[in-house]
Structure formats: structure tokens, C-alpha cells
Amino acid sequence: GENVEQHPSTLSVQEGDSAVIKCTYSDSASNYFPWYKQELGKGPQLIIDIRSNVGEKKDQRIAVTLNKTAKHFSLHITETQPEDSAVYFCAASKSGNEKLTFGTGTRLTIIP
Amino acid sequence: GAVVSQHPSWVICKSGTSVKIECRSLDFQATTMFWYRQFPKQSLMLMATSNEGSKATYEQGVEKDKFLINHASLTLSTLTVTSAHPEDSSFYICSASPPEQYFGPGTRLTVT
């Protein structure tokens, strides 16, 4: 089955700086790669996703890049703000409505 | 759009009793819903995939007779934890697929 690795497990950045979280996956049949933000005691919130026919996608301060050959994808957050502090999970699946395999999560802390 | 609700948000039950958790898609129809379990500071682990009008598909190692899933309509799926034990205490989260997966706020179950 699919295996998703995520690094780093914790990340602290100064407010205003950029944060990058990286994931690798094992199943070449995976075509859908979402990123979720989870705040304490809440369910994950979909923040951005990318499909295998696209190499990069951007939504305001958030961007995701995908290298399907190398089987890795990354989340980039620019101009970080205190409210960006949360746990971020990457995931992979064959399509959006099939089961997701999650990475182990990255606890992002923005230092004011 | 794409709002998913769960009820209750938290529940405490005695060992040996059963508890039902509801997952509703509020503004869309979901032919597929997923149930996840999350232990503290860990990632989400898929328990089962639920398709409207058919039997749920359980992941390896998940007891289908203990975790009963019913997806009776396009907007409602329920998870019943039968004969709960303290080790079943966890954060249970559902997602609904329109097709991207949107997650509910989660239900914290504590078994005493």
C-alpha cells in the first residue's frame, strides 16, 4: 500500500518568514495530494491540494509543488503569521474520493 | 460550502456500553464518507470507507463487529462503538467526499 513520509516533524519560524514542509510517497498510482491544517481539538481543514497533472498550485500565501518523477511534494507558506501555527498533514490518494494515506504531521510554530 | 458536522463533539461512556457518533454533510451530498481515528499527537488512521446504501469497507485490523458503520443516506453516516473499552478512547473524525475530502470537527470519546 501507499506510504507517506513527512519532514520535519516540528518547525519554528519567525513571523514573516517562509515555512516549507516536505512529503514523499511510495505509490506511483497516487494522483491526488492534499494538505490539511489541524488546530488543537479540531478536525483537519483542507488548505490546498494538487493533482498529478499539475506541477505547482498557489493560493495567496500558500503554494504546493509536486515532482511526480521523484515522488515528492511540498507545502510552502510565505509571510507567515501567528495564526498559521498548527499541525500540518500531507496526504496522498489515487483520487479525491478514495482513501487518503496521511503523513505523520508537522507542528509549525510561528514566533512573533 | 463543503461543511461536515459531527455529533456529539465529546462523549464519556462507561466500559461495556455502546456509543453512536453521527457525521453529516450539511450542504452537499456525499456518496462516500470515511471514518478516521486519531490518538494524541499522532496522525489520522483510516478505519473504514462508507458508501451510501452498501456495506462499509474496513481497514485491516479494524474490527467490523465492534465499529459498526451505517451510511443510510447521502448526508448521514453513523459510527457505533459497541462494548466500548478504555483503549477505544480516542478522537474520531469523519470526512465526506464531494470528491475532495472535507473533515468534520471530530468527536472525542472517553471510555471510563
Q: What is the pLDDT of residues A42-92, one digit of tens each?
A: 999 999 999 988 899 999 999 999 999 999 999 999 999 999 999 999 999
Confidence at A97, pLDDT banded by 50, 70, 90: confident
Interatomic CA distance for residues A66 and A53, integer angstroms: 9
Chain B residue numbers with beta carbons less than 8 Å from the beta carbon of A9 are none
Any chain A CB within 8 A of the CB of B97?
yes
Residue A61 phi, psi dihedral angles, 5° rounding? -85, 0
Q: A46, A94, A99, A102: which to substitute to probe chain B, counting the most B Cβ within 10 Å?
A: A99
Query: Does B101 sit within 8 Å of A43, measured CB to CB?
Result: no
pLDDT band at A6 (very low <50, low <70, confident <90, very high): very high
Strand B4-7: give its sheet, edge to edge: B4-7, B19-25, B76-81, B67-73
According to DSSP, the β-strands at B107-111 and B10-13 are: parallel
Tell me the residues of A at the B interface, defined by beta carbons under 8 Å apart: 34, 36, 41-46, 49, 89, 95-97, 99-105
Q: Residue A107's closest chain B neighbor by CA? A: B41
Q: Which residues contact A17 (CB under 8 A, 6 or more apart)?
A: A80
pLDDT for B1: 65
Residues of chain B with pLDDT under 70: 1
Nearest CA to B47 among B11, B9, B73, B21?
B21
Burial class (CB in 10 A: 0-12, 13-18, 19+), B60: exposed
- Rounded Cα distance between B110 and B85, Å, is 9
- Which strands make up the sheet holding A56-59, listed edge to edge? A4-7, A19-25, A72-77, A62-67, A56-59
